[in-house]
Amino acid sequence: MLEQIQQYSYSLLKNTNIEYKRYFFKEVDFNNRLIGIIGDRGIGKTTFLLQYLNELDVSLDKKLYVSAEFLLLSNIQLFELAEEFEKIGGKVLVIDEIHQIADFEKHLKMIYDVFSSLQVIFSGSNAIKLEHSKADLSRRAMLYRFGGLSFREFLELKTGKKFKSYTLEDILEKHIDIAFELTSKFKPFEFYKEYLEYGYYPFYFEVAKDTFLIRLNETINTTIEHDLAYIFNIEPKFIIKLKQLVTLICGSKPYELNISKLAQKIEINRNTLYQYIYYLNRGKIFNILDHKAKGDNIFSKPAKIYLANSNLNFAYCRNIEIGTIREIFFANQLKNYFSLHQNSSLLGDEILASKKGDFLINEKYTFEIGGKNKSFKQIQDIPNSFVVADDIEIGFNNKIPLWLFGFLY
């Protein structure tokens, strides 16, 4: 059976010829023996893993890619595969979408403890199983959480040019100089709307534009019908309720959240609704924000609920509310940035809903999001406050262009 898996692996490696490398490559320390790559479906995890294997300077028979689905269909145990591969001198084993395998954490622990010469890299479309695994992976595995394309990466793919990323502090302190330099190289609004509608998922560049939203719907349906249903033991008859909730949130403004009405429309009780919101947040379909960090308590009303990125709004909403899209873009880019740079929790407590203004970052910076004419009226007496304005190329004082936050990662 190993020979069959090797042929499958060789075929995939042979057909992986994508030159563009995402920010993942700069962040992962490949010296670790056990590495986990976490992120929602469609963000390019498989491509990243195959690119890494292709560039790895070891002979082809010493590196192996396998999908969890292939293992399940072939009825092969993960530990047994690793054992057989290690016996023939295998050095690097990559397991894609590992969360589909029952008790994968126990297998990984055994592989790590028994085969000291074997590096294992695994990916998962949902971090829940990995974060709450029964076996202790925390002191063995190095976990990385990655998001979809930033606006910066999208621009690199569209223009063929290279652009550096900036820290949040850089943007807050030097946004005028940064925006001036960047806008001398490209026109942000030539590409910005396209990114909001289509640009978060790398597979946009692999399919016809008119089929992208169909592919995106299929990706989200797979996340709900397979990943979430499996992880949370959701009965098939209740899957439709999750999909209805996605549609309802898509059509609602974040500040008009009414839990009782949502529960009535879907015909479920409030506690079940809170559970569904929690599931969809964990599946990276929702992005929920609170007024203060609250840990993992799911039975309390969120301050705001968004879809996780603006592409989802264009896929699910009949009516697009520009104010909501602006907030989604800002929250999405910031959350991905914090996940990357600050050892953040899965809930992303560094970015909170603000009672004055729209967002509170690190309990220090207040941001109000709006169009080019947005004033400081709502936040004028708050220290470290900023207006983030759409439809402007270059800001002034504490007024920063919204598009510029797409250069955080």
pLDDT digits (tens, 9 = 90+) for 309-354: 999 999 988 889 999 999 999 999 999 998 876 444 433 458 999 9
Domain boundary among the residues 91, 121, 145 is at: 145
User: For 358-390, what is each residue's pLDDT tens digit?
Assistant: 999 988 999 999 999 999 999 988 999 999 999
pLDDT for res 296 = 59
Distance of CA 340 to the CA centre of its chain: 10
Q: What total number of domains does the chain contain?
A: 2
What separation, in Å, do the N-terminal and C-terminal C-alpha atoms of the chain show?
41
* Weakest mean pLDDT among 26-40, 78-92, 334-348: 334-348
User: Distance between CA 386 and CA 122 in Å, rounded?
Assistant: 40
Residues 109 and 67 reside in one and the same domain: yes
Residues 233 and 359 reside in one and the same domain: yes
Residues 44 and 192 reside in one and the same domain: no
Residues 126 and 175 reside in one and the same domain: no
User: For 210-224, what is each residue's pLDDT tens digit?
Assistant: 999 999 999 999 999
Residues 308 and 225 reside in one and the same domain: yes
Residues 284 and 186 reside in one and the same domain: yes
Residues 159 and 16 reside in one and the same domain: no
CATH number at residue 51: 3.40.50.300
User: Distance between CA 42 and CA 217 in Å, rounded?
Assistant: 11
Rounding to the nearest 10 degrees, give the CA dihedral for residues 198, 203, 209, 210.
-100
Please tell me the pTM assigned to this model: 0.90
Residues 127 and 156 reside in one and the same domain: no
pLDDT at 134 over 50: no
pLDDT at 193 over 50: yes
CA distances in angstroms from 341 to 106, 124, 126, 141, 304, listed in the order given: 29, 20, 19, 18, 24
Residues 126 and 34 reside in one and the same domain: yes
Residues 100 and 157 reside in one and the same domain: no
- What range does the domain containing 63 cover? 2-145
Domain boundary among the residues 145, 178, 204 is at: 145
Q: Quickly list H helices, 199-346.
A: 212-222, 229-232, 239-250, 259-266, 270-282, 310-316, 322-341
Q: Quickly tell me which residue has 């989200």 as its tokens.
A: 220
pLDDT for res 91 = 98
Computed over every residue of the chain, the mean pLDDT equals 90
**Do 52 and 62 form a contact (C-beta atoms < 8 A)?**
no
The residues, any chain, with a CB within 8 Å of residue 260's CB and separated by 6 or more, are 270
Residues 130 and 239 reside in one and the same domain: no
Mean pLDDT of 22-47: 92
Residues 162 and 307 reside in one and the same domain: yes
User: Distance between CA 365 and CA 369 in Å, rounded?
Assistant: 13
Domain boundary among the residues 145, 172, 200 is at: 145
User: For 223-235, what is each residue's pLDDT tens digit?
Assistant: 999 888 888 889 9
